[in-house]
Chains A and B, each alone.
Chain A
Amino acid sequence: MTQPEIIDESGDKYKYGFVTDIDADTAPAGLSAEIIKLISRKKEEPEWLLEWRLKAFEFWQTMTEPTWAKLSYDRIDYQSLHYYSAPKQKQAPKSLEEVDKNLIDTYNKLGIPLKEQEALAGVVAVDAVFDSVSVATTYRAKLAEKGIIFCSISEAVKTHPELVKKYLGSVVPYTDNYFACLNSAVFTDGSFVYIPKGVKSPMELSTYFRINAKNTGQFERTLIVAEDDSYVSYLEGCTAPQRDENQLHAAIVEIVVMNNAEVKYSTVQNWYPGDKDGKGGVYNFVTKRAACRGVNSKISWTQVETGSAVTWKYPSCVLQGDNSIGEFYSVAITNNRQQADTGTKMIHIGKNTTSKIISKGISAGFSNQTYRGLVKVTPQADNARNYSQCDSLLIGKTCGSHTVPYVENRNKTAVLEHEATTSKISDEQLFYCQQRGIGEEEAVSLIVNGFCKEVMQHLPMEFAIEAAKLINISLEGSVG
């Protein structure tokens, strides 16, 4: 295939199922110390990082894939995957003009042309991750003025090794879990953000992830550090081209939040969910965690998840600093044969820490969805507060929804509240909308958007619009 093509005409709803024909520099399949050395060499990494990777790989070999999630999928053959693929470029591009034209075309199809982004005059700075290597970074200069570092993590390894060395693995150690360990051994690229003391980021930082080359596992690694009294809002948006083989994605996001600092992390995830019969689609095993290390620090996760065939994801907040706040706002939509086991962990360690969980799950078709959440209060965490609300909406009779809230409380002063509901779009609601002239699909999207409203209002404006569209696309054909 030489020309990218959109698969829409085949009746498939996934708009972004095209493949960019780029000469990729792909390592042979399989995972071994040699491959890891190759990745490290290709990326011209320092010795300490290679050693860290190899330690992770060694540890990974002693681990077994977790099976506790309510997910069923064919076993992943880790030796058949490729662990490195980078678009070939003679030299790092200095501007967008030097970027491979095919890449730019791909972004155009996704509706995120970098040129337009640039013209948006400081609204969003984009660090575009295409497969594994960052190919374009914009607004660097403006951010640099404020002392903000926003670059690919491989670049940060070279330019700010002391920061990367200090924080990498400090929130998610490589021993944490199977997929995080794998990522630590083979991660290829991702974003690095450093907000210095007292700085509020003048714009929202944004990264678009794409999975492109065939059979390439995607192992992103993102590290965000917010020093005392700083603020940043970070957006992550994802789409992937269509593939028949399942694509493995095991990312890590680590966030460190110091005294009085605040980080808002928003995600719209739209990876290929597989076709109507569950063929193809992305396997998404992600470890996302933020440590509120300082007093009065705050982390807020907002996510809209519509994609992937299999999702395993629990963005978490470790509330170490006194008075720190953790929030989790989530909308997860599954249709057809999609499966999602997702939720959050709130770990209260500091005194007077507060957490809030608002989770909205929508299941349609033959999909299955589980909310799995942990609220943990340690003995020293006096006056911890948590409010959890988990609502599920079912569309049709063949989908499933499950709620598994874990609570571990070791402190008598804690106040923990949990509310959960399961509902259906009722025939009465549909009839009411239709009797007013609103078509059935529009009615469903209206009702679903109403159901998600509490979460959607936490998304930045431009993201919220994109997310609302995504919800509609995801549910097309789920009624009637």
Chain B
Amino acid sequence: MNAPLLEIEDLCAEVGGKSIIKDFNLTINEGEVHAIMGPNGAGKSTLSYVLCGKPGYKVTGGSVKFKGKDLLSMSVEERAREGIFLIMQYPVEIPGVPSTTFLKHAVNAIRQHRRQPELDTMEFLKLVREEGRKLGIDNEMLKRAINVGFSGGEKKRMEALEMSILKPDFAILDEADSGLDIDAMKIVAESVNRLRNEQRSMLIITHFQRLLNYVVPDFVHVFADGHIVKSGHKELAQELEQNGYAEYVREK
């Protein structure tokens, strides 16, 4: 059995004074892919923001360990540098900052943390173009300001590119397929699958089971009323697709 990468114990968190995450427990071992499914508005995204340390998401109880370290005491960037990456549902636009510039800052910040030498411009461009090609991102798109005027599909492909380059130990996919047509979703799913290996773990947060046809999870959890109400394997996703979440929401 692989070592645990992420250990969440009795986690409670609130947003704007409203309790959203309640006694949440989950352990993800190295190399595992977990999916969290649940009805809209249940607070699935809140979980991903709490794990990333987003301001405004207040932890009121419990603990989270990442690689055995206390995750909750780390700043947002420390968590990222330790290897947590979030594919965001709505990536934000940063006008005037070319995607390459943004990526270079990010990759070198993380390399510095890992005590690796910074990539020079040539090495970096080679890497980013190579990875970009796999995602159908051309040089023209790389020069554009990050996410500015990008279509929904372009934004998600850029997220996938960032992930491919930063090579996180733990990736959270928050509704990574929202706004994607089937072709774009396949491209993103392929990039996720390329990253799957024995050490790297993932947490896929999704409302629909669609993405899970392409990125097949090891475990599926149903999230309702702030915590996991049922766990199973990939078959659970199909069951939910057919029957909906009604039976779990009713528990409230």
Return the CB mask of B108-120 against A: 1 if under 8 Å, else 0: 0110010000000
Return the CB mask of B95-117 against A: 1 if under 8 Å, else 0: 11100011001100110010000
B96→A450 contact, CB < 8 A: yes
Q: How extensive is the interface on chain A, given as a class?
A: 20 to 34
A427 within 8 A of B: yes
A449→B97 contact, CB < 8 A: yes
Report which of A433, A434, A438, A450 forms a contact with B145, defined as CB distance below 8 A. Answer: A450
B66 smallest CB distance to A (angstroms): 14
A431-B76, A432-B88 known; A437 vs B166 contact (CB < 8 Å): yes
A438-B105, A439-B77 known; A428 vs B97 contact (CB < 8 Å): no
Main secondary structure of the interface of A (DSSP, over half): helix
Report which of B80, B88, B94 forms a contact with A434, defined as CB distance below 8 A. Answer: B80
B124 smallest CB distance to A (angstroms): 14
B52→A438 contact, CB < 8 A: no
A452 within 8 A of B: yes
Q: B75: which A residues are within 8 A, CB to CB?
A: 434
B32 within 8 A of A: no
| A 382-435 contacts with B by CB, 8 A | 426-429, 431-435
B86: nearest residue on chain A (CB-CB)? A435
A436-B166, A437-B81, A438-B105 known; A426 vs B92 contact (CB < 8 Å): yes
Q: A426: which B residues are within 8 A, CB to CB?
A: 92
B83 smallest CB distance to A (angstroms): 10
Report which of A429, A436, A442 forms a contact with B162, defined as CB distance below 8 A. Answer: A436
Interface centre among B55, B77, B81, B145 (most CB of A within 10 A): B77
Return the CB mask of A227-248 against B: 1 if under 8 Å, else 0: 0000000000000000000000
Q: B145: which A residues are within 8 A, CB to CB?
A: 450
A432→B91 contact, CB < 8 A: yes
A426 to B93, CA, bound (A): 10
A438 to B54, CA, bound (A): 14
A423: nearest residue on chain B (CB-CB)? B95
B102→A452 contact, CB < 8 A: no
B112: nearest residue on chain A (CB-CB)? A437
B109→A439 contact, CB < 8 A: yes
B149 within 8 A of A: no
A463 within 8 A of B: no
B77→A428 contact, CB < 8 A: no
A435 to B172, CA, bound (A): 11
Q: A429: which B residues are within 8 A, CB to CB?
A: 92, 94
A442 to B107, CA, bound (A): 13
B56 within 8 A of A: yes
A432 to B54, CA, bound (A): 9
A436→B92 contact, CB < 8 A: no
Q: A437: which B residues are within 8 A, CB to CB?
A: 77, 80-81, 106, 109-110, 113, 166
B102→A446 contact, CB < 8 A: yes
A453 within 8 A of B: yes
A436 to B101, CA, bound (A): 13
B162 smallest CB distance to A (angstroms): 6
A434-B77, A437-B80, A437-B106 known; A452 vs B92 contact (CB < 8 Å): no
A439 to B86, CA, bound (A): 16
Q: B94: which A residues are within 8 A, CB to CB?
A: 429, 432-433, 446-447, 450
Report which of B80, B95, B101 forms a contact with A435, defined as CB distance below 8 A. Answer: B80
Report which of B92, B95, B166 forms a contact with A428, defined as CB distance below 8 A. Answer: B92
B56→A427 contact, CB < 8 A: yes
B80→A432 contact, CB < 8 A: no
A167 within 8 A of B: no
**10 A-B residue pairs with CB within 8 Å:** A429-B94, A431-B54, A433-B105, A435-B52, A436-B80, A436-B105, A437-B80, A437-B109, A442-B109, A453-B96
B residues adjacent to A (C-beta < 8 A)? 52, 54-56, 75-77, 80-81, 85-86, 88, 91-92, 94-97, 101-102, 105-106, 109-110, 113, 145, 162, 166
Known: A432-B94, A434-B75, A449-B97. 10 other contacts (CB 8 A): A426-B92, A431-B52, A432-B92, A433-B106, A437-B81, A437-B109, A439-B109, A450-B96, A450-B145, A454-B96
